[in-house]
Amino acid sequence: MIDYIHGELTELNPTYAVVEAGGIGYEINIALPCYSALVGKEGEKAKLFVTEIIREDTHDLFGFFTKGERELFLMLMTVSGIGANTARLILSSYTAAEVRQIIATGNSKVLSQVKGLGPKTAQRIIVDLKDKVLKVDLGTGDSNDSAIPSDVLFPVESNPIKDEAVSALTMLGFAAAASSKAVDKVLKAEPTAKVEAVIKAALKML
């Protein structure tokens, strides 16, 4: 069991990061809060707490900026019908602190807004985790918006934000055309929105 990987951040995208440690580049799946915390740190040392998902046809690493986020991710996966990608989608739609609060207060309506969950699955998450979720210590870094430097802001005309947002959404399993349309709507309303904000808003439309 790998607890964490500490090395040079060589590549960063909204859905995955590559960390080189011991001459090996580890591709690590991440959620948006982790991406936010790492923006602007390419070429620097980074430490991600990881969990391995091993199946017959795949061997994936999922990384988190804090142990608390990882614990919440693993807790979500104990619920029937919630796999790694769905758990990551939940943690990309809301911050870890928001997810904990939503579950603790039994707000299934808000939780069901996550693509693919639906009312029944959202309710199942709340029933299974409501009495457990407040025990998760999220520590520091619940919100990493301040970690995003101003130089990742672009006007909509230059399109790097759109390209990155659409790429992230398609990697999360959404159709490229629908993702592009949703991102266009978000950027039309908020032309200087950050990548994470664009993706979160688009997720609510898809």
User: Topology of domain 67-135, per CATH?
Assistant: DNA polymerase; domain 1 (1.10.150)
**Whole-angstrom distance between the N-terminal and C-terminal Cα of the chain?**
35
* Domain 149-203 in CATH 1.10.8: yes
Domain locations along the chain: 4-64, 67-135, 149-203
**This model's pTM is above 0.75:** no
Amino acid of residue 17:
A
Q: Which residues contact 161 (CB under 8 A, 6 or more apart)?
A: 152, 153, 154, 187, 193, 194, 195, 198
* 18/25 Cα distance (integer angstroms): 6
The residue among 25, 10, 34, 139 whose CA lies nearest residue 95 is 34
Query: Tens of pLDDT along 106-130?
Result: 999 989 888 888 899 999 999 999 9
Top-level CATH class of 4-64? mainly beta
Output the pLDDT for position 61.
96
159 pLDDT band (50/70/90 cuts)? Answer: low
Query: Tens of pLDDT along 59-104?
Result: 899 999 999 999 999 999 999 999 999 999 999 988 898 999 999 9
